[in-house]
Amino acid sequence: MITESQFQQEIELIINNALREDVGPGDYSSLACIPSDAMGKAKLLVKDTGIIAGIAFAQMVFKKVDPEMIFTPLLHDGDKVKYGEIAFYISGRSQSILKAERLVLNAMQRMSAIATKTNQFVEKLSGTKTQILDTRKTTPGIRALEKWAVKIGGGVNHRFALYDMIMLKDNHIDFAGGVNNAIIKTKKFLSDSNLDLKIIVEARNLDEIKEIMKNEGIYRILIDNFDFETTRKAVELIGDYCQTESSGGITLETAPLYAACGVDFISSGALTHSVYNMDLSLKAVK
Closest CA to 148 of 120, 108, 121: 108
Residues identified as active-site: 102, 137, 169, 202, 224
The angle formed by the CA atoms of residues 55, 60 and 133, to the nearest 5 degrees, is 55
Rounded to whole angstroms, how far apart are CA atoms 278 and 276? 7
Rounded to whole angstroms, how far apart are CA atoms 63 and 103? 13
DSSP assignment of 174-201, as one string?
Answer: HHHTSHHHHHHHHHHHHHHTT----EEE
DSSP assignment of 86-118, as one string?
Answer: EEEEEEEEHHHHHHHHHHHHHHHHHHHHHHHHH
Pairing type for strands 166-168 and 131-133 reads: unpaired
Burial class (CB within 10 angstroms; exposed 0-12, middle 13-18, buried 19+) of 38? exposed
Q: What are phi and psi of 72, to 5 degrees?
A: -125, 100
DSSP assignment of 212-272, as one string?
Answer: HTTSS---EEEEES--HHHHHHHHHHHTTSSEEEEESS--TTTHHHHHTTT-SEEE-THHH
In terms of phi and psi (left: phi > 0; alpha: psi -120 to 50; beta: otherwise), the region of 205 is beta
